Amino acid sequence: MSDYVVTGHHVRRTNPTPVPDPVAVAYWPPDTHHVRRIVRDGAAYNEGFVFGGDDWGPFGVSYRALTPRVRDASNLLEPACPSSSHVAYGAIRLEWTFFVLGQSAGTAAVLAIQDGLPVQQVPYDKLRSRLIADGQVPSIQLVEKKG
């Protein structure tokens, strides 16, 4: 659990929750497989399935979602298990997003070590600049400018 949780509100195309410190762009609809199969009105029904719809779009994944709360740990980064809701994780959980989150976490770890800081205190502007210099696209705004 981190101080920032990515939720289904970030995934929305219409009025998404802005992310002030993105380190990756997730571009996949909320993809949540069914929880269980039940019988409804005499037919099998997959309960809990969520996929796409029309109101999803690319969104930034916050750096803070990769770091635990300071009171829990100061030297841990978790790119494959970001702090997120079940719906948001369904949109993040793809390998290409994990690749970018892993690169972001590795870069942040280097900066934290170089500056002698807990990972939660890595200056976002410095991290973002390094990611961009390395050819990464950490935010949807950069995608829109390139497109």
For residue 98, give both structure tokens: 């994990």
Mean pLDDT (whole number) for 14-32: 91
Residue 142 has pLDDT above 80, yes or no: no
pLDDT digits (tens, 9 = 90+) for 57-82: 999 999 999 999 999 998 999 999 99
Poorest-confidence range of 28-42, 63-77, 109-123?
Answer: 28-42
Cα–Cα–Cα angle for 58, 111, 128, nearest 5°?
30
What pLDDT does 53 receive?
A: 73
Beta strand 50-51 with 59-62 is unpaired
The pTM of the full predicted model, rounded to 2 decimals, is 0.85
DSSP string, 34-86: -SEEEEETTEEEEET-EE--SS---EEEEGGGGS--TTT-SS---SSS-SB-H
